[in-house]
Amino acid sequence: MKTIVTTAGRRTEYTKQLAQNAATQLGLSYVDRQKRNIIQLQQHFQSDVLVATKSRWECHGLNSSEPFFFHPSSAKFRLKRLARGERDPLLEVCQLQAGDSFLDCTLGFGSDSLVAAFAIGDTGYIKGCEANPVLAFILQEAFHKGRTDYVEFESLMNQIQIISSDALSYLKQLDENSFDVIYMDPMFETLIKESDSIGPLRSLGVRESLSSEWIHEALRVAKKRVVLKAHFRSSWFKEFGFNQIIRPNTKFHYGFIEKAALNN
C-alpha cells in the first residue's frame, strides 16, 4: 500500500521538518495538509497517511478507522503483575532468564518484547522484526527517540532493537545459535473479534504465515527454544511439531520446540 507523509492539522515548523525528514528517510512523498483532513488525504491519494504530531507518529491506514501509534497494549497490565511477583505465561513458556537473548519475529506493538525485556534485564538483549517499514519507523522513533506518550517504559524500550525486515529474511542472515529464544506470533492466521486494540495493526501489518522454511531457520538460529503463539485451534502446533500448552478459557495458546530435544 502507498504511504504519504504529512503533519498534524496544526502544523508547526518542528512537525513539518519531522515529516519532511521521515519522507526522505523512508523514500516517501511529503504532502502539505492544506486544511485537508486525514480522510480527504487518504481518498485523494488512495494511500495510508503517516502523520507527524508534536509528541508521536501515527499511521492512518486507508482501510482502518483508527490510527496505528505505539502503545504498550497488554504489556501495561502484564508488567504490573510481574512487578507484584505474579507469573506471565509467555515468560513461563520461553523460560527466559537474566542475560538471555530474545528475537521477536513479529514485533507488532512490541508488548511481548517489553515483557521479555523485564525478564532478561539489562544484561540480555532483544531484537524485534517488523516487516512494514513505516511501522518499524514508528516503533524506532518511540523506543529510541522519545516520540511516545509512554515514557514510563523508556528503560525497557531501550533494550529492544528494531529490525525493519520480515522475519524469514532476517533469520537467514544470522549465524547458528544466535539467540536463546526465537518467538513468533503470526496473528493473522485467525481473527479474534475481541482483539479490537490490534485493529490498526491488522490493517497495516504484513500478513505472514508460518512455513517449513521459517521454522527451519528459527530452529537453526535458536540456542534453546522456538516459541509460537497462535489460536488455540491452529493447525500449526501439530503441523510444525510444537508442544502445545493448553490454557483453559483462552483464545490463544503457546507452543514450543526444544532445541536440545532435536539434537538428541
114: domain CATH number?
3.40.50.150
**What are 16's three cell numbers?**
513539518
Number of domains within the chain: 2
Residue 131 within any structural domain of the chain = yes
Question: Within this chain, do residues 18 and 99 fall inside the same structural domain, yes or no?
Answer: no
pLDDT above 90 (res 197)? no
DSSP structure string for 57-92: EEEE-TT-SS-B----TTHHHHHHHHHTT---HHHH
CA angle 166–167–169, rounded 5-degree value? 75
pLDDT band at 172 (very low <50, low <70, confident <90, very high): very high
Tally: H helices and E strands in the chain: 12, 11
Q: Which residues contact 98 (CB under 8 A, 6 or more apart)?
A: 119, 120, 121, 123, 124
Count the helix, strand and coil residues of the chain and give each as a percent rounded to the nearest 5: 40, 20, 40
Q: Tell me which of 209 and 175 has the higher pLDDT.
A: 175
Selection from 99, 112, 93 nearest residue 225 by Cα? 93
Based on the fold, state whether residues 43 and 162 are members of the same structural domain. no
Domain that holds residue 151: 75-263
Together in a domain, 158 and 199? yes
* 89 and 127 assigned to the same domain: yes
Domain assignment present for residue 156? The answer is yes
Q: Taking the model in full, what pTM does it have? A: 0.92
One domain for residues 79 and 20:
no
Residue 13 sits in the same domain as residue 44: yes
